[in-house]
Amino acid sequence: MIDPDFIARRVEEDNPYPHGDEMRSHIGGRRRAGSVGRWLFLVATISAIVILMVLLASIINQSFGLVAEQVEIPEEMLVTDFNKLRVTKASNIVLSSEDDQRLAEGIGKDPNGAGFFGFAFYQANADQLNAISVDGVKPNMANVQNGSYPGARPLFIYGATSIMVEKPEVAAFLAYYLEHLDEVITEVGYFPVESDTHAAEKQAIASALGVDELSTIDPAAYAGSISITGSSTVYPVSLAMAERFLADGFNGEIVLESTGTGGGFDVFCTGEGNYDLVNASRAVDTNEFDACFANDRNLSEFRIGNDAMVAVINKANTFVSDLSREQLELLFTDGITWTDINPDWPDEEIARYIPTVNSGTMDFFVQSVFGEQTLKDMPYDGLVSTFVTNVSAGRCRAVEREQKFYENFLICDNPEAYAAACIGDTPPSGCTAPPRKNQDVEMLIQTEVIKPRVLKSWFLYPSIFSREEIMLEAGRDYPNAEVRFKSWLSLNFITSPQSSTPELAGVRTAILGSLWVVLISILLAFPLGTAAAIYLEDYADRDKWYNQVIQTNINNLAGVPSIIYGMLGLAVFVRALEPITSGALFGFIDAGATANGRTVLSAGLTLGLLGLPIVIIAAQEAIKSVPPSLREASIGLGATKWQTIWHHVLPNAMPGILTGTILTMSRVIGETAPLVVVGASTFITTDPTSPFSKFTSMPVQIYQWTTRPQDTFRNIAGTAIIMLLILLLMLNAAAIILRNSYSKRFA
């Protein structure tokens, strides 16, 4: 009889696996280890997500926010100046004058006369003139007060705090002016403003006089001289106030001149003529404010009333009563006869009576009639004229040698000198480059004329939660800057090329460069990597030593630092294969480029080699995952090995192969070091148009901006990172959609 205890002892001795208490202890230990591993994985995953979110929040934080921005010449001023030239250089101008009364009298004597000026002068000559309605709206008090009349405009008088402190009689005159303004403004022919407007203005004058509150001004208590220049429109109001101030006992003299608003600011801000006040029929512009501020004349603005800029015709003209803005623009620019405005009107020439180019009325007329326009609304000739007018002759010549404005003639340079330069040893690029386009000239104007400068920028979160403090700081430190919320990520940022001015810089060239590099890399890595994987999995003898070496090296190459690939690309593609990668072998070299291999092609081939091991490994795993039964069934039906691979293995492995391609693309698009080694440009404004073009890429562009000292470059660097992520996601999404379509097709 067999002893059960003996059997149990033999089973226990022969069983190599833990059992009993040992087994329970072993299982408990594995559970604890698994639990620790699971928690470590969760902590690592959550930490990675948190870090990525913090990084993304940091990038977003610096890509948006408030900025204090100032320009050399505002864009709207350039557009206004262009439109003013259209009006002042038009044909049939009988009279151009700052004296609105002369214009009114001239139109009153000319049956075909037409012009525009302030409402007061129309009212004074209403027996000889008819006012033109604009889009059906008449110029009257009701329409001016409710803002429906497009020619409604504010009227101002400007002073400087420093002058009011130095000359109390000027401050007293201003206080008297505001105190008695409502008694005069309507008599002159203009419209009063709200009563509470003057309260704040009077307090500003009291502060200049060093008192808490203004008392009634007694002109007899003051003496000295007061000189006023500027707008002819405001002139009648200031003249009436000066006469009253003198009549009430002022012991001095008041001198008034009518030079136009622009002319008045020019002499006042520079200190020429020692003027104390400026009449203005428009608000001070940025350049005028800067000029005054630079000469210690911190302007104080006093709004004295409202006016209606009125377009008028002779009383005998019975066919014109209402015009659209487009017709009004035509009336004072390109229209020669009344028939040009309306075919039903007489074929007689228009006689124009207009203010001068320095008149505030002229400024307001083109702004209100021509509407809000930008550089994009200007014709090419207007853009060129604007650029040439606002830069030096030397700079204009240099720009024209880089690229001409017109095909058959020059604007800035001497034809003989230009021709000589083109046949010299180093001809300028303009000799062969096509003429500039509208967008090119717009960018020139932005960069070299408008010159936007962000004096200071604030990140998004302070801009939201500390807005009041920021506004106070900006008002104190940057009084003439415009403080506004700016999204650095914009359509202009995406479509603009690189620029040394961060406010104008964009990533168009870098995006195109990255797309070219990724395309060439994938065109190399995908077919070559797939072919290598097929060989290693289906044709190579695994027992052969050389196949083992190949497999080992592929696995090792996947972990080689990218800078090594950059050195390989420099040695092989840039230098050894220079005739091919530069395009010289094919006679294809970009205009102005030298015959070297630092091109898109070299960069793409280098990064293609970098991504090749990843594609091979992923493709091998995808091919391994195809069931052997599929191969056997195909071969059993008489298919060859290659037919089996091509028609069955590859289609089923394609989703996995494309996954490897996606990983490769993700790595390639973010690489910087290899591109720097093979010669990516850190500053280039020319878009790549072929594999032989010079180039830059998004990572290189971001790196270059992060090394710049200006704060604004960190804003656009963060914005470029967002664009790089968006570009990566779009490319990956396209590849994933392609992969999924294969998965469904062969499911």
pLDDT digits (tens, 9 = 90+) for 689-731: 888 888 899 999 998 888 888 888 888 988 999 998 888 888 8
The residue count for the chain? 747
Contacts of 46 (CB under 8 A, 6+ apart): none
Greatest extent of the chain over all pairs of C-alpha atoms, in Å: 147
Lowest mean pLDDT of 81-90, 113-122, 708-717, name the range: 708-717
Q: Sign of the CA dihedral 637, 640, 643, 645?
A: positive
In angstroms, the CA 501 to CA 519 distance is: 30
| ∠ Cα 15 19 24 (to 5°) | 160
State mean pLDDT over 417-421: 90
Tell me: pLDDT of 439 over 60. yes
pLDDT at 591 over 50: no
54: which 2 tokens? 């913090």
With cut-offs at 50, 70 and 90, classify the pLDDT of residue 747. Answer: low
Among 8-17, 50-59, 187-196, 679-688, whose mean pLDDT is lowest? Answer: 8-17
Identify the pLDDT of residue 742.
67
What is the rounded CA–CA span in Å between residue 126 and residue 112? 16
Are residues 676 and 603 in contact, defined by beta-carbon separation less than 8 angstroms?
Answer: no
SS3 at position 271: coil
DSSP 697: -
Query: If you average pLDDT over every residue of the chain, what do you get?
Result: 86
- Tell me, what DSSP letter sits at residue 349? B
Higher-scoring residue by pLDDT: 532, 667: 532
Mean pLDDT, residues 23-50: 86
* CB 706 within 8 Å of CB 719: no
Q: What is the number of other CB atoms lying within 10 angstroms of the CB of residue 428?
A: 19
Which ranges constitute the DSSP H helices of 355-502?
A: 360-370, 380-390, 393-402, 415-422, 438-445, 460-465, 467-477, 491-495
The three-state secondary structure class of 189 is coil
For residue range 219-253, what is the model confidence (pLDDT) as tens digits? Answer: 898 999 999 999 888 898 999 999 999 999 999 99
d(CA 655, CA 660): 9
Helix (H) or strand (E) holding 306: strand 299-308
Examine the pLDDT at 2 and tell me if it is beyond 60.
no
CA-closest candidate to residue 312, choices 170, 160, 124: 124
CA distance 444 to 439: 9
Q: Which pLDDT score is estimated for 8?
A: 55
d(CA 69, CA 458): 12
- pLDDT attached to residue 592: 44
Residue closest to 665 by CA, chosen among 723, 739, 612, 741: 612
∠ CA 257-262-263, nearest 5°, is 45
Is beta strand 129-131 parallel, antiparallel or unpaired with respect to 310-314? Answer: antiparallel
SS3 state at 651: helix
As to burial, measured by CB atoms within 10 angstroms (0-12 exposed, 13-18 middle, 19+ buried), residue 390 is middle
pLDDT of residue 593: 47
Distance, CA of 615 to CA of 666 (rounded, Å): 12
How large a percentage of the chain has pLDDT more than 90? 31
Phi-psi region of 309 (alpha: psi -120 to 50; beta: other; left: phi over 0): beta
Residue 264 · residue 280 · CB < 8 Å:
yes
Q: What confidence tier does 109 reach under pLDDT thresholds 50, 70, 90?
A: very high
Neighbours of 520 (CB within 10 A): 21
Which of these, 508, 504, 502, 495, lies nearest to 713 by C-alpha position? 502
What's the angle, vertex CA 556, arms to CA 554 and CA 559, rounded to 5? 115
Q: Which residue has the higher pLDDT, 95 or 593?
A: 95
Asked if the model's pLDDT at residue 210 lies above 70, the reply is no
The residues that bridge with 354 in the sheet, in sequence order, are: 96
Average pLDDT over residues 196-220: 71
Residue from 695, 668, 698, 691 nearest 679 by CA: 695
- In angstroms, the Cα distances linking 575 to 484, 515, 689 are 50, 24, 22
pLDDT score recorded for residue 114: 95
Give the three-state DSSP class for 65.
strand
Q: Which two tokens stand for residue 234?
A: 């405001």
Kindly list the distances between the CA atom of residue 665 and the CA atoms of 88, 389, 523, in Å, as whole numbers in the listed order.
59, 49, 11
590 pLDDT higher than 60: no
Asked if 485 and 65 count as a contact pair (C-beta separation under 8 A), the reply is: yes
Please report, rounded to a whole number, the percentage of residues in the chain having pLDDT higher than 70. Answer: 93
Arithmetic mean of pLDDT, 529-554? 87
Distance CA 177, CA 307 (A): 18
Are 604 and 520 contacting, i.e. CB atoms less than 8 angstroms apart?
Answer: yes
Asked if residue 277 has pLDDT above 90, the reply is: yes
> Per-residue confidence at 119, pLDDT binned at 50, 70, 90?
confident
CA 497, CA 547: separation in Å to the nearest integer?
Answer: 48
The pLDDT of residue 125: 92
Q: What are phi and psi of 432, to 5 degrees?
A: -115, -20
Q: What is the pLDDT of residue 16?
A: 61
Q: Distance between the two ends of the chain, CA-based, in angstroms?
A: 63
**Statement: the pTM of the whole predicted model exceeds 0.75:** no
CA angle 35, 38, 39 (to 5 degrees): 85
Q: How does DSSP assign 80-135, residue by residue?
A: HHHHHHHHHT-S-EEEE-S-HHHHHHHHHH-TTEEEEE-HHHHHHTTTTEEEPEET
Query: How many angstroms separate the CA atoms of 333 and 92, rounded?
Result: 10
238: exposed, middle or buried (C-beta count within 10 Å: 0-12, 13-18, 19+)? buried
- Tell me which H or E stretch contains 456: strand 453-457
- The Cα 481–Cα 471 span in angstroms is 11
Q: Which residues of 113-149 are buried (b: 16+ CB within 10 A; e: fewer)?
A: bbbbbbbbbbbbbeebbbbbbbeeebbeeebbeeeeb
Tokens of residue 706, six digits: 């992060």
CA distance 345 to 330: 14
Tokens 């402190």 correspond to what residue? 165
pLDDT tier, 532 (very low <50, low <70, confident <90, very high otherwise): very high
Categorize the per-residue pLDDT at 212 as very low, low, confident or very high, splitting at 50, 70 and 90.
low
Is there a contact between 633 and 589 (Cβ–Cβ < 8 Å)? no
